[in-house]
Amino acid sequence: MTHVAERGDGGRGGRRVVVTGYGAVTPLGLGVRATWTAMLAGRSGIDTVDTIDVTGLGVRIGGQVRGFTPGRYMPAPVSRRADPCAQYALAAAVEACDHAGLVVDDRLAPRVAVIIGSGYGPVGSIYRAANTLRDKGPRGIGPFTQVTTAMDSAACEISMRFGTQGPSRAQSTACASGADAVGAAMRMISGGEADVVLAGGADACVTAVDLAGSGNARALSRRNDDPAAASRPFDAHRDGFVMSEGAAVLVLEAAEVAERRGATALAELAGYGASSDAHHWTAPHPQGRGACLAVEAALRDAGITGADVDYVNAHGTGTPLNDVTETAVLRTVLGDRITRIPVSSTKSMTGHMIGAAGAVELVASILVLRTGDVPPTINCDDPIAPDINFVPHRAQHHDRVRIALSNSFGFGGHNAALVIRAV
């Protein structure tokens, strides 16, 4: 392998980027350990929605965060003003920084950035504000409403909590938001704009409006009577994705910065690619044109080919169109390698966390590299491609997993792919 490929920068000449910490809040558990344990056990986080009134909705199931206590992660004034979307992101960031042993002091602060992706943003707070305006008039609207209902509220809360003084911003590319946020952070570090970036994604869109809208678009599973079996990526009897909520944040650092402060590199973020389908609001391009471009760009960025990939964490939503298209894309880009490696969709257990999905799935992919344990695709009873190992039902152990690919494809034709390498 060439020196360029060993550097993992695809010839960009920039700095190597490593992951030194991560945190998560998901329907499977609070924290990465709880989430990972549930994934390996093949446990579903999907249930009947009980946090909102689902009367009259065609879809009444979702992946809800359970047992979340904001006071564990933030003071009361923050939890009172912050939407659950921002609360989950902040909680994940707290875990990630603790995991990385990151202390943002006055010297480091100007070189630390925050990028948080979200497909929907703080929609619960937006809906509540609209209802308050209707019911109580203008005087009922709080003075922080305009900022806490903004897409960048999660990034701002994290920046204020840790005292970061580098750029802080939101990333919104539908279901690719979390992956694109991580990719943008990688570019920022590689190009020298920052030394450390807290990057990830968050969404809290299990709301009546969003269940109704996506349900009317016929994008959601309607297995209301069997929630645990509703999310079934790559299964012949899939009928849509399951709306879920959650967050994940990763600490990304320039390799030399991590080494200098004695941090443990968990994986190298080696490649990132993004593209647009320019085709349809909700349907992928039938030949996967944009998705192919994103995956190919990520592999090229990492200085590798499809033959080098050892594991794929698929976008795998369980919608009729995505799973067929993604399978075709993987065949095109990876060739016959796709029949010799594990390909799993953790959305079968978490549901689709929209902007958080790509970040949570990247964390899972890192754990696959570090342990060799591959989480399953549950509910994959009748796989659409029998020659591909979708890791059906039960986790598998694979001895040599050095490079992983994580895909995120979103409404509006947004596509993002990330490549990570074991260290």
Residues annotated as catalytic are: 175
Sign of CA dihedral 6, 408, 148, 54: negative
- CA angle at 205 for the pair 200 and 207, rounded to the nearest 5°: 170
Beta strands of 228-281 (E only): which ranges? 246-254, 267-276
- Pairing relationship of beta strands 17-26 and 29-30 according to DSSP bridges: antiparallel
Q: How far is CA 363 from CA 162, 288, 419, 422, in A?
A: 21, 25, 12, 13
- CA angle at 169 for the pair 163 and 174, rounded to the nearest 5°: 140
The three state secondary structure string of 166-178 is: CCEEEECECECHH
Q: How far is CA 276 from CA 186, 291, 411, in A?
A: 20, 8, 10
Exposure of 143 by Cβ count < 10 A (0-12 exposed, 13-18 middle, 19+ buried)?
A: exposed
Return d(Cα 208, Cα 60) in angstroms, integer: 9
Structure token digits, residue 405: 């690919």
CB 32 within 8 Å of CB 96: no
3-state helix, strand, coil split of the chain in percent (to 5) is 40, 20, 40
Residues 6+ apart with CB under 8 A from 42: 349, 375, 376, 378, 393, 394, 395
